[in-house]
């Protein structure tokens, strides 16, 4: 490949896809780490590689060697050398760094990942989807360097200044399950953290008798439509408290891992793939303008279906029969609660059986109407069924697939699956508004489950 074509490749691929596909082929430029990492057991390190044009792509990793592994990660893509140096100098102002060998950087990152995994903590989602590809594959070809993790081999959670009470409790609960009582430590950044100093918001339910929990839940859920903000919060907390008593922790964790393995696909928000619009090999190339128009009309369809319908007529002339036009029509019908939606959806599902977005809408319709999951061809629903040979999907595709999963979880009526699916949402790369919608639906599913369980 010529230098000119290599330059084009950098332009054609998004930064995320370039790092996934090409970063390991770039020559190493340097690796840096904060000087005091061995004392603090918190490593802020970077791995930089150079492009043929002299620019730098660098990935940054915040590695908690005490407990949580890769807590945060980021990258700077194809940056001029002066911009890279300015960024490193800015970091050095607050956290002096030194050069280290790549092998040490590699071992620090993966020691943190593996130690955290032993206790059920996953690395930051961007590490899994993007920045791990800046590192070489973790094989025997990399020299093994012993890295001390935890304190005396036991996990030690250091509470950060921005860790809220919900996050703290979740981490402690995880350590109780995986390390076991007395086999872990908890400190804050000032070394004066004590576990029993924290007054979690749902402490009021600890020690509460099952009958009292039931009475409170039934009282709140009976007034669901008229609850104020504080009462709604209490409903969420009491629901979670009762569910915690019902969930089998081992089974929950097993299902969580299954969900995570299937659902943790890299998500594109800024780059719009051809597949999102239903592009076929013999179709004319789709311009960025048309792709952006699709996304704009999609969001408009949810907010203002009538205006979206007008925009769709213009858009249809630009797309030469792509199935995305039919999908947008369905979203408009759905948003306006048109009685024509089921009939037209079935028609388009037959017409475009391989277009993922319409296929997902059709599966969702079958789930919510027939409630017979076994009769649905694609069940159990897996990403690879709807998105074969895809390394990434768009946030619109991910949201609709997870919506299908959410409704299927309600039909399965298994509290371990409901809670595991709810838990995994926090570890997926979701837009905040999408996660909020899905969690609201799951709360309703939980309430319905508990109503049936408690009044049976």
Q: Is 321 helix (H, G, I), strand (E, B) or coil?
A: coil
* In-domain check, residue 119: yes
Q: How many residues does the chain have?
A: 456
Q: What is the pLDDT of residue 2?
A: 41
- Mean pLDDT, rounded, for 300-314: 94
Q: Is the pLDDT of residue 5 over 90?
A: no
pLDDT for residue 316: 93
Identify the pLDDT of residue 397.
96
* Calpha distance 451→53 (Å, rounded): 63
The string of pLDDT tens digits covering residues 50-75 is: 999 999 999 999 999 999 999 999 99
The DSSP code for 285 is P
Give the confidence band of 170 by pLDDT, cuts at 50, 70, 90: confident
Boundary (domain end) residue, out of 111, 134, 157: 134
Read off the pLDDT of each residue in 411-437 and give the average, rounded to a whole number: 87
In a domain, 237, yes or no: no
Q: Which of 415, 454, 422 is nearest to 440 (CA)?
A: 422
Does residue 259 form part of some domain? Answer: no
The CA-based dihedral angle spanning residues 285, 289, 295, 299, taken in that order and rounded to the nearest 10 degrees: -150
What is the predicted pLDDT for the residue at 325?
96
Q: Are 332 and 303 in contact (CB under 8 A)?
A: no
By residue range, what is the domain housing residue 92? 3-134
Choice among 35-44, 155-164, 177-186, 349-358 with the minimum mean pLDDT? 155-164
Tokens 């002299």 label which residue? 54
pLDDT at 126: 85
Domain boundary at 107, 134, 161, which? 134
Alpha-carbon distance of 422 to 426, in angstroms, equals 8
What is the average pLDDT across 340-346? 97
Reply yes or no on whether the pLDDT at 194 is more than 80: no
3-state secondary structure of 19: helix
DSSP state of 377: T
Residue 198's pLDDT band (cuts 50, 70, 90)? very low
pLDDT classification of 350: cutoffs 50, 70, 90: very high
- In this predicted structure, the answer to whether residue 451 has a pLDDT above a threshold of 90 is yes
Average pLDDT value over all residues in the chain: 88
- Only one residue has tokens 């409903």, namely 235
Q: Note whether residue 188 is domain-resident.
A: no
Rounded to an integer, the average pLDDT of 262-289 is 85
Q: Is the pLDDT of residue 6 over 70?
A: no
Residue 389 lies inside a defined structural domain of this protein: yes
Backbone angles phi, psi at 147, to 5 degrees: -120, 125
Mean pLDDT of 9-35: 82
Asked which of 134, 160, 181 is the last residue of a domain, the reply is: 134
Q: Residue 224 half-sphere exposure, CB side, CA atoms within 13 Å?
A: 13
Q: Taking residues 263-276, report their average pLDDT.
A: 86
Flag whether 218 is in a domain. no
Helices (H), 130-273: 165-178, 210-221, 229-246, 249-263
| CA atoms of 164 and 171, how far apart (whole Å) | 11
| Domain total of the chain | 2
Question: Per-residue pLDDT for 456 more than 90?
Answer: no
Please check the confidence at residue 306 and state whether its pLDDT lies above 80: yes
Domain for residue 193, yes or no? no
436 and 292 within one domain: yes
Q: Worst-scoring range by mean pLDDT, 46-55, 336-345, 418-427?
A: 418-427
Residue in the block written with tokens 């996304």: 295
Most confident of 85-99, 397-411, 422-436: 397-411
Is 69:123 a contact under the CB 8 Å cutoff?
yes
Indicate if 130 and 271 belong to the same structural domain: no
Cβ atoms of 26 and 118 within 8 Å: the answer is no
Shared domain for 302 and 447, answered yes or no, is yes
> Residue 139 domain-assigned?
no
């Amino acid at each position: 490949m010529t230098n000119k074509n290599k330059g084009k490749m950098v332009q054609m691929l998004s930064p995320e896809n370039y790092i996934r596909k090409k970063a390991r082929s770039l020559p190493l430029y340097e690796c840096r780490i904060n000087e005091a990492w061995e004392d603090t057991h918190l490593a802020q390190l970077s791995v930089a590689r150079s492009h043929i044009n002299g620019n730098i792509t660098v990935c940054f990793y915040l590695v908690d060697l005490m407990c949580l592994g890769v807590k945060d990660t980021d990258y700077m893509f194809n940056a001029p050398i002066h911009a890279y140096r300015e960024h490193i100098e800015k970091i050095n102002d607050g956290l002096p760094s030194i050069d280290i060998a790549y092998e040490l950087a590699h071992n620090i990152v993966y020691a943190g990942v593996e130690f955290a995994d032993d206790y059920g903590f996953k690395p930051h989602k961007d590490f899994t989807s993007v920045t791990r590809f800046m590192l070489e594959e973790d094989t025997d070809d990399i020299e093994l360097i012993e890295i001390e993790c935890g304190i005396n081999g036991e996990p030690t959670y250091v509470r950060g200044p921005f860790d809220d009470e919900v996050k703290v409790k979740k981490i402690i609960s995880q350590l109780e399950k995986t390390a076991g009582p007395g086999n872990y430590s908890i400190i804050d950044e000032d070394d004066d953290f004590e576990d029993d100093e924290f007054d979690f918001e749902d402490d009021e339910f600890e020690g509460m008798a099952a009958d009292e929990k039931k009475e409170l839940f039934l009282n709140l859920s009976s007034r669901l439509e008229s609850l104020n903000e504080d009462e709604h919060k209490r409903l969420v907390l009491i629901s979670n408290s009762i569910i915690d008593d019902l969930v089998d922790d081992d089974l929950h964790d097993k299902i969580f891992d299954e969900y995570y393995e299937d659902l943790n696909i890299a998500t594109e928000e800024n780059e719009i793939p051809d597949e999102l619009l239903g592009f076929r090999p013999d179709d004319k190339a789709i311009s960025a303008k048309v792709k952006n128009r699709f996304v704009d009309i999609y969001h408009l369809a949810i907010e203002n279906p009538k205006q979206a319908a007008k925009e769709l007529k213009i858009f249809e002339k630009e797309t030469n029969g792509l199935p995305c036009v039919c999908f947008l029509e369905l979203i408009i019908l759905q948003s306006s609660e048109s009685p024509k939606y089921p009939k037209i959806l079935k028609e388009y599902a037959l017409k475009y059986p391989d277009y993922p977005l319409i296929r997902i809408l059709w599966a969702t319709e079958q789930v919510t109407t027939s409630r017979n999951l076994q009769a649905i061809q694609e069940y159990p629903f897996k990403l690879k069924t709807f998105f074969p040979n895809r390394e990434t999907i768009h946030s619109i595709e991910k949201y609709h697939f997870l919506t299908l999963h959410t409704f299927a979880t309600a039909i399965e009526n298994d509290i371990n699956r409901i809670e595991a699916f709810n838990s995994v949402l926090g570890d997926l790369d979701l837009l905040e508004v999408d996660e909020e919608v899905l969690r609201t639906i799951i709360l309703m599913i939980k309430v319905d489950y508990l109503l049936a369980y408690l009044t049976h």
